């Protein structure tokens, strides 16, 4: 009997690599940067082959993110404008169902001063007295709002809108009769008109039509009875001043300067409210 030569030792089968993020998934694809195995759910298209999510994120850190004209995040859909439009329309619909909501929301100097209902300074901008009143403000917001939101970004634009509304209410708080109620988004709208004019001048655009629009509406404000001129003028002044601060802020540390302008405006308006309350009630509370 002849002996057979020993068989060569059996070679171990090559282990199938698995995705580093999903160990239960087999894959033969590796990240082009770190060479870790990645499954189809983790593959991100690269110039050559695929990369893993971590490598893509690391690479994006060096890419400067696009910003709006005056430093905000790029706005593709003017969501804030659509939400504001929806709010004033919905609230007006609720107003038609009950008068209580109108009385609760509208600006009433005595209610602010003697009852401490400071919320009225803002909520008055979301209530309207009549369908034409609502339609005009809604139309103006629809026309002017989206472009301003794209120029400033969501947050700056919302701050501009709310502070303009507050500015109109504050001037009314100081100059309107204590028992004279008022309502409407007109203060905020006039603030947007002023802001659009400032932005147009900053960008060297033709703003003659805006100047005419503002002028005509100011004439209507003072000629037609029953219109709160204080709300319109207060909103116009506040919106124009804030837009100038945002648009002309130095590029170096622009975010800081813009934040200081917005916070500073809020502080000034709150201080004016406190001073007026003290003057009406004779107390510091």
Count: domains in the chain:
2
In terms of domains, do 104 and 229 share one?
Answer: yes
What average pLDDT does the structure give for the chain? 89
Whether 29 is in a domain gets the answer: yes
Both 46 and 150 in a single domain? no
Higher pLDDT: 50 or 68? It is 50
Distance CA 236, CA 191 (A): 4
Tell me the Ramachandran region of residue 35: left when phi exceeds 0, alpha when psi lies from -120 to 50, beta otherwise.
left
**Could you list the residue range(s) of the whole structural domain that residue 273 is in?**
79-281
- What lies within 8 Å, CB to CB, of 40 at 6+ separation is 27, 29
pLDDT of residue 66: 61
pLDDT of residue 248 exceeding 60: yes
Q: Flag whether 243 is in a domain.
A: yes
User: pLDDT class for 285, splitting at 50, 70, 90?
Assistant: very low
Q: How far is CA 241 from CA 73, 161, 176, 220, in A?
A: 22, 12, 22, 23
Q: Which residues are catalytic?
A: 186, 232
Say whether both 87 and 121 belong to one domain: yes
Q: How confident is the model at residue 40 (pLDDT cuts 50, 70, 90)?
A: confident
Shared domain check, 19 and 101: no
The answer to whether residue 64 sits within a structural domain is: no
Residue 2: inside a domain = no
> Which has more confidence, 56 or 149?
149
- Residue at 268 is within a domain: yes
Average pLDDT over residues 138-165: 95
Claim to verify: residue 160 and residue 40 sit in the same structural domain: no
Residue 61 pLDDT exceeds 70: no
Residue 156: which CATH number? Answer: 1.20.1540.10
**What pLDDT is stored for residue 1 in this prediction?**
47
What average pLDDT score do residues 131-147 get?
95
Side-chain-facing half-sphere of 138: CA atoms under 13 Å: 19
């Amino acid at each position: 009997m002849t002996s057979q030569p020993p068989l060569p030792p059996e070679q171990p089968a090559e282990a199938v690599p698995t995705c580093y993020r999903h160990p239960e998934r087999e894959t033969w694809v590796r990240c082009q940067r770190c060479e870790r195995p990645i499954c189809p759910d983790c593959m991100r298209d690269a110039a050559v082959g695929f990369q893993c999510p971590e490598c893509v994120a690391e690479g994006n850190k060096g890419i400067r993110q696009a910003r709006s004209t005056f430093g905000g995040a790029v706005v593709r859909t003017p969501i804030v404008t659509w939400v504001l439009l929806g709010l004033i329309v919905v609230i007006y619909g609720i107003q038609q169902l009950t008068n209580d909501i109108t009385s609760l929301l509208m600006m009433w100097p005595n209610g602010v001063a003697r009852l401490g209902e400071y919320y009225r300074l803002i909520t008055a901008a979301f209530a309207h007295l009549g369908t034409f009143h609502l339609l005009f403000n809604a139309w103006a917001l629809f026309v002017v709002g989206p472009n301003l939101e794209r120029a400033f970004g969501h947050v700056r634009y919302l701050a501009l809108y709310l502070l303009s509304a507050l500015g109109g209410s504050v001037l009314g708080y100081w100059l309107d009769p204590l028992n004279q109620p008022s309502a409407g988004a007109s203060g905020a709208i006039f603030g947007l008109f002023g802001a659009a004019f400032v932005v147009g001048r900053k960008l060297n655009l033709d703003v003659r039509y805006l100047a005419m629009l503002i002028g005509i509406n100011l004439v209507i404000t003072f000629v037609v009875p029953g219109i709160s001129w204080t709300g319109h003028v207060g909103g116009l002044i506040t919106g124009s001043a804030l837009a100038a601060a945002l648009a002309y802020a130095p590029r170096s540390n622009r975010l800081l300067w813009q934040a200081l302008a917005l916070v500073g405006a809020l502080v000034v308006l709150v201080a004016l409210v406190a001073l007026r309350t003290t003057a009406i009630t004779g107390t510091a509370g």
